Structure formats: C-alpha cells, structure tokens
Structure 1
Amino acid sequence: MSFPTHAGEFALGTFAQVSGRPFPGLVAHGRVRDVSALAPTVRDLLTDWDSALTTLRRLASDPRGNWLGGDTVRVLPPLEPGQILQSGANYRQHVIDLVAAERESAHGATPEEARADAAAMMDARAESGTPYLFLGSSRAMCGAYEDIVLPTEGEQHDWELELAAVIGKAGKRIPRSEAMSYVAGYTICNDLTTRDRLYRPDLKAIGTDWFVAKNAMTFLPTGPFLVPAEFVGDPMQLQITLKHNGVVRQDESTKDMIFDIARLIEYASTVTELRPGDLLLTGSPAGNGAHWGVFLRPGDELECTITGLGTQRNTCVAE
C-alpha cells in the first residue's frame, strides 16, 4: 500500500516489516525511515519532543538512510500510550440529537420543543459545565488498516470517529491558557462501542459499563500517524468524516465540540498528571450507527479521515 497524505513535512508512526520487530518510523515523501537509533519507541521520542522535532525535521529532508516503501511494512498504532482519556458527550449536535430524542419519547415534547430545550441545555453546559471523561484500555487498539473483530457478545457494534490529541510533556493542573503547548500532535481514533452491552440490567444504579462496551480487542483503530501539532493548524477547524460501506455517516467540524481541547486538558489535569504519550480522545460527532439504525456486520468496511491526519480503512470480521 502507499501511505496516505498527511499535513506538513513529516509524520511519525510505528511499523513492522514482515516477521520483524516494531520500530518507530519517520514518514516523509510517501516512505518511512526507521528512527529507532534515536529512541526505541515513538512514546520515548515524546519525552524530549522539542529536541526530537529538530532531529526529525533534519532526517526528513535527508535522502540518505534506509527509506522503505509503504508496501514493505505493516502500519501499527502510532504509539503505545500511557493513559487513554476519552471524552463523552462532547459534540453539540450529537448531544442535542440524543437529548431531544429522549424528551420526545419520555416527556411528549414536540420535535421543535425538544430540540430547543436540548440546545439551551448544551449552551448552559458549555458556559458553566464540565467535561465528561473516562479511561480506555490500550489493549483495544489496532492499526489503521487492520481488521476489526466483532465479538460474539452483543449485536449493536457501532462506530465513533474521534480526533485524539497526543500529549508531549508532563503537567498537573494545567491552565487553559497554556494547555495547547502540552500537545505534541494529533492522530485518528475510532472508538467503537457495543451499544447493547453499555447498560447493565443487573446493576442499573451503577449506570454504563464502559469497560465491556468499549474495550474489546481491535475496538480502537488508531492512526495511521502522529502528525506534529505545528503541521495541523487550528485543531478546532478540522473535518471529521466516516464512511460506512461507502456511505457518509459522520461529517462534522471539530468546531462543534462543546469543550475545546484546551478545556479538556485543563479539566483532565485537575485529576491526573498528564505525561508524554498520553492520548486524549475528544469525543465523536453526530452520525453514529445508533442514529442511522445501522450497526456493523462482518464484511462491512469503514473509511475514516480527519483533515491532515491521513485515512483509516478497516474491514469488520466475525470473531
């Protein structure tokens, strides 16, 4: 395969040759160069990100060295993260859809009344509310071109395409005004969810079971690349697009976020120290399978893009 285009001079990823060990790779001009001499993993490169950027920029412009074509390597998730922090209910239109549907069915509101009430709630939440975050498992990750394995448990396997920020330096209680300086780059994540395993009928008071619904192996396709933040431009002006079997299902700008990336970082860092290599997923826009009444089946294909970050293509298979 040829590598998808990405913003900027270069990108980073993790790759493997046939029967070979994974290596951190510098992607430029449609080829990849092994940079394990600099650091054993992409996450290690992030521990001194400013220095690494300077070296990577020099190597990207140097035709010498062992450059490999995309057809000679496997594309793995771009890094193994420390923490995976995931943001729920963070796209305005998506949450309005959910709240309005509940108000129509449970409270008998007209569609117009339900949407007006939901919009007012989201405006108030953006003004004075707080983000909703939970943790994911790195064991759920798979590469941008690997198969998604649909587990036998549950039937409503759904997609949720998201922009993920990659943290580049450690910080606790990070002010919003400084938060974006902690972002090394961005990547694509598709945070799959088995909807009919999300709520536990035996433990209704506890609520959602994120572990079961979201962390099946291969349920977090990530990558293909980590694109440095300086190449991406304004991360709040990126287009998120998902096609299911060729049909566009999600197509929204990141500007629809209720809480922007800086606010998410500020909030997350009041609870936990953020460290280089942590992933912060920023939520998914409207248009998931539950909205369309369509869920994933073996043989289905997903094509996912975010402006400047490349493309994922995954095929669903039965367990």
Structure 2
Amino acid sequence: MNGHYHLLSYDDEGRTRAGLLIDERVYPYGPQLGELLQLEMREQTVTDLIERWDSFGPLLREAAVRVATSKSPLPGLALDEVKLLAPLLPRTIYGAGANYYDHVAEMDRAFNMPPSPDPHTVSGAPWHFIKAPACSVVTGTGEQVTLPPYSRNVDWEAELAVVIGRPARNVGVEDALSYVAGYTVANDLSLRDVFVRDYIGVHSPFHFDWISQKCWEGSCPLGPWITPAEDIPDVQSLKIRLWRNGEVRQDSSTAEMIFSVAEQIAFLSSRVMLYPGDVILSGTPAGVGMPHKQFIEPGDEIEVWIERIGTLETMFRAADATRTDS
C-alpha cells in the first residue's frame, strides 16, 4: 500500500485539530493513531506538524499505511460530518505576480498593450508581493467571504499554493522542491478598482496600492487540505480550473507557469529565509474577470480545483449582509 493521504485541519468543539484524510474518512492525529504505530502521539495542529516536517512527514506516511492495511480499522470520522478549517495559518504568504504565460497574454490584450517580453529574457527573476498575516486574510473551504464595501471589482485568481516544510536560504533550483512539505489550493482574491491611485502618475512608485488590492480581510481562501509533495509526481503538469456559479472561467495547467515552483523557491530564498509553514501562491492562469469586466457579486460561489489536490469552495456576501456563521 502506498499510504496516500491528505493533511487537514478541522474544528473539534472549538479546538483546531489535525487529521489525515484517507478514503473519505478523517483520522484525528493523536493517541488512536499512536496506538496503531505503537508510539506516543499527542494532539497536534497542522502548523505544529509542518514546523517539524522532517520528523512528522515520514510518521504521517507510516500512519496512513497502517490505517489502510489495519485488520481492525480505526473509527475515523466521515468527511461530510467534519467542519474543515483552513489547513494551516501560514507564517508568511508570498504571492507571485504575472506568472502564467496565458494570463499575461490576456492582460496585455485587455489593456491594448504589445506582448510582454518573457521575464526569463529580461530580468531572469520572478516577482512577488507579501500578503497581510494569515489570521487576517486566510479563510477555509466552505466559508463565506464578505465583499469589501469600498470595491465593486472583486476578481478571482485560482492558484497552486506551496507549503514550505524546511528552512530554506540560498537554495538552488535543482534542490528547491525538497524544501516543500506539500501543496494546497488558493484563491488570491484581488480588488481591481482600488489597485491604483489615479491622482498619482502611472510612472510613480506610489501609483499602486497593494494593501488595498491584496490584503483585505478574507482575501485568501485556502484549502481544502494539504497534499504531501511526494504524492505530486510533477508539480508543473497539474490541471487547474475555476468555476463561478458552475461556469468554468479558468481552465489551464501549471505547465503555463513562467517561473516554475522550484525557480520561485530558489529566488525567494536568495532574498529571505523561508520557514516551515510559509506559503507561496504561485500565480494564476488566464480566465480572470478583469479582461471581461466581470467580477464577483453577492451570492456567488467560486470553486477552485487542482488535479491531485482537491476543490476549494468559497461563497460571497455583501458587506452589509447579516452574519450567518455556524
């Protein structure tokens, strides 16, 4: 047995618990799994596990194998009975800008601009921004996001999210993927109508407002779980799709990335130390709403799916809507 599993966070009577998803059942990380492994295992959060991934990664794989092969199955929880949370609250979120060839091409056309040069031939380096702390921006699958009252142009961006599992500093491209614990799904929501300060010239460094566009509350849906990196044979050949109210809007592949996941990790680690629990949003493909002037409205449901990982679902409500959180 190969021991395939997904690592998730769920709500256990107000507590955040880590669990392994195996064949549509959730097995809490803790004493019961420990008995199966004949080890002492106390409750942990996913963040705890990621921060010591070198130790916990092999242990989780062994636990998944034991669950799958045990003659006395553990009494796991049915997935549809579990309230999933964001799989982790990242230490730092790095977002890649303009990192899919098809997306850059569609934006060039939308703004009547000549084709952008391949960054590999101009700078040789990817481009990133940093989002606000996860406790402010991250939401889990199935949650509602309140649309900001100061924006009418909220756009979707399906993204592969990369979860760092080991401290990384000045790593080479050839070794970069060995620093990844796993992958999850993100929707890097963007406000297209507050991105610039119109009263400041386009050539000014103060023309852009990244906080308003990228760092508002609820702007980073993340989930539904983390798929271990070793279960992704080729991270640069994953299908990625987004639906708005059941209509496909983005349909592409991570093969369209300009800078690969490994290149992004190598570049970022040349500037800062990447820590376990950091997350890199690796860019979005063509199909965002901006070129067609179509944006998220109250009542919309957005689904983002990435091959081998899963589907992230988000609902949206107006800023003045009565809260209906369960």
TM-score under structure 1 normalisation?
Answer: 0.88
Q: CA deviation at 1:42?
A: 1.1
Q: CA deviation at 1:20?
A: 2.4
Give 1:194's match in structure 2, choosing from 191, 196, 205: 191
User: SS where residue 305 of structure 1 aligns?
Assistant: strand
CA distance in structure 1 between the partners assigned to 2:225 and 2:87 by the alignment: 5
CA distance in structure 2 between the partners assigned to 1:180 and 1:243 by the alignment: 29
Gaps of 5+ in 2: 31-40, 320-326
User: SS where residue 149 of structure 2 aligns?
Assistant: coil
Superposed CA deviations along residues 179-210 of structure 1, whole A, max 9, x for unmatched, are 11111110000000111011123444213212
Tell me which residue corresponds to 2:208: 208
Q: Higher mean Cα deviation, 171-180 or 42-51?
A: 42-51
Tell me, yes or no, if structure 1 residue 10 matches structure 2 residue 5: yes
Tell me, yes or no, if structure 1 residue 96 matches structure 2 residue 105: yes
Tell me which residue corresponds to 1:21: 15
Q: Could you say if the C-alpha distance between residues 225 and 8 of structure 1 is closer, same or farther in structure 2, counting changes exceeding 3 Å?
A: farther
Q: Could you say if the C-alpha distance between residues 222 and 276 of structure 1 is closer, same or farther in structure 2, counting changes exceeding 3 Å?
A: same
Give 1:81's match in structure 2, choosing from 68, 80, 90: 90
CA distance in structure 1 between the partners assigned to 2:237 and 2:59 by the alignment: 29
TM-score under structure 2 normalisation?
Answer: 0.86
CA distance in structure 1 between the partners assigned to 2:157 and 2:243 by the alignment: 11
Alignment of 1:245-256 (within 5 A): 245-256=245-256
Q: Is the 8 A contact 1:38 1:45 kept in 2?
A: no
Tell me which residue corresponds to 2:310: 310
Question: In percent, how many aligned pairs have the same letter?
Answer: 37
Q: CA deviation at 1:213?
A: 1.2
Tell me which residue corresponds to 1:165: 162
Q: Higher mean Cα deviation, 58-67 or 216-225?
A: 58-67
Q: Could you say if the C-alpha distance between residues 100 and 294 of structure 1 is closer, same or farther in structure 2, counting changes exceeding 3 Å?
A: closer
Superposed CA deviations along residues 263-317 of structure 1, whole A, max 9, x for unmatched, are 1011101111001110011000111011222111111111110001111122111
CA distance in structure 2 between the partners assigned to 1:103 and 1:202 by the alignment: 22
Q: Is the 8 A contact 2:3 2:62 kept in 1?
A: no
Tell me which residue corresponds to 1:4: none
State the one-letter code of the partner of 2:90: P
State the one-letter code of the partner of 2:299: G
Gaps of 5+ in 1: 1-6, 105-113
User: SS where residue 240 of structure 1 aligns?
Assistant: strand
Alignment of 1:264-279 (within 5 A): 264-279=264-279
Cα RMSD over matched residues? 1.8
Q: CA deviation at 1:103?
A: 4.2
Tell me which residue corresponds to 1:46: 50
CA distance in structure 2 between the partners assigned to 1:236 and 1:209 by the alignment: 31
User: SS where residue 155 of structure 1 aligns?
Assistant: coil
Q: CA deviation at 1:261?
A: 0.7
Alignment of 1:133-152 (within 5 A): 133-137=128-132, 138=134, 139-152=136-149
Q: Is the 8 A contact 1:49 1:184 kept in 2?
A: yes
User: SS where residue 224 of structure 2 aligns?
Assistant: coil
CA distance in structure 1 between the partners assigned to 2:295 and 2:254 by the alignment: 24
Q: Is the 8 A contact 1:39 1:45 kept in 2?
A: no
